[in-house]
Amino acid sequence: MITIGHFRRDGEAFTGRLATLGLAATLRLAPAEKFSAKAPDFIATLSGAEGETECGAAWRLSDTSGAVLSLRLDDPTWAEPINARLMAAEDGVLPLVWIRRADPPPSASPPPSS
């Protein structure tokens, strides 16, 4: 897991900085209006000169991994969306860690026919 950002609580939201080799941006996770049980709990937006742009969503977690939120972020310039987790921290600075999608192992080739 690679840390790609750090966040702090901002009222009911989270605000932080996302930083990778190709991106440095301020990201805000604002509470979303839940319209179904599977709807996201937060909407992710990037702040820029043109205002805020929606770039993903986040869901609360109730597992024992130590994660607070599971995020899915996307951008038209990326080959595919990324998954990340906002982790709990005692000092109030919550790390955002990138979760690389694990490709399934290649299926074994059938044995050659004799």
- Given this model, what pLDDT does residue 104 score? 64
- Given this model, what pLDDT does residue 66 score? 66
Q: What is the pLDDT of residues 19-41, one digit of tens each?
A: 888 888 899 999 999 899 899 99
- Given this model, what pLDDT does residue 3 score? 92
How buried is 93 (Cβ within 10 angstroms: 0-12 exposed, 13-18 middle, 19+ buried)? exposed
Residue 7 dihedral angles phi and psi, to the nearest 5°: -130, 160
CB atoms within 10 A of CB 40: 21
Nearest to 31 by CA among 60, 2, 7: 60
Q: What is the pLDDT of residues 103-114, one digit of tens each?
A: 666 666 666 665
User: Is pLDDT of 90 > 80?
Assistant: yes
User: Is pLDDT of 73 > 90?
Assistant: yes
Termini Cα distance of the chain: 46
Domain positions in the chain: 2-99
- Given this model, what pLDDT does residue 15 score? 95
- The beta strand positions in the chain, using DSSP E, are 2-10, 13-19, 24-31, 42-48, 51-60, 67-73, 82-87, 94-99
Can you tell me whether residue 111 is helix, strand or coil? Answer: coil
Q: Rounded to two decimals, what is the model's pTM? A: 0.80
